[in-house]
Amino acid sequence: MDHPDANAGCVIEEIRAAFRDVEKGQLTLHQAILSTWADEEHVLANQGRSHKRWEEITDKEIEAGGKALYGADPKSWRFFIPAFMIWSLRFLKVNDAFVSDQTIYSFDPEGVKPASSLSKLERFQLLSLPQKRAIRRFLEYMARNDSYADATFAQKAINQYWGHYK
């Protein structure tokens, strides 16, 4: 069972508020996972479970779906990312899945381009100011928890891009 501390709880509430009405993108979580190595025709043929709201994404789907953050188009990524951040905050200290670090890495402004032709910075431009602030708070929390997350990388992302969203 998850047991986030009070600080994580505050960040979770900020994420929920900032991403409350985010529209889903073109890809399902399963399609985004597949798009990291499959061609577009294969991805579209393999629908997977479609979620109407990001809150419907289950813990089990998140644990198995970290690759979706690399293969998602910008709008789908924006739909998935609050579920991944909240899962990471809830389970950071009790689950050693790589998902928390994959979530942190998806905020790297210098990282590998997603499967679509858009760069990560273009992906980030879809975010509202409250969403960018929630991401900064998430990264700050991760940067303070180096025993459980890639705190160095979280701090790097803050320093390079997310830090000025206060």
DSSP 63-131: HH-TTHHHH--HHHHHHHHHHHHHHHHHHTTT---THHHHHHHTT-TTS---SSSS-HHHHHTTS-HHH
Write down the pLDDT at residue 42. Answer: 40
Which pTM value belongs to this model? 0.85
- List, for residues 2-25, the tens digit of each pLDDT value: 667 889 999 999 999 999 999 988
Low-confidence ranges of the chain (pLDDT < 50): 1, 38-39, 41-47, 112-118
Could you tell me which of 98, 83, 92, 103 has the C-alpha nearest to residue 145? 92
Total count of residues recorded for the chain? 166
The span from the CA of 30 to the CA of 26, in Å, is 12
Residue spans of the domains in the chain: they are 6-164
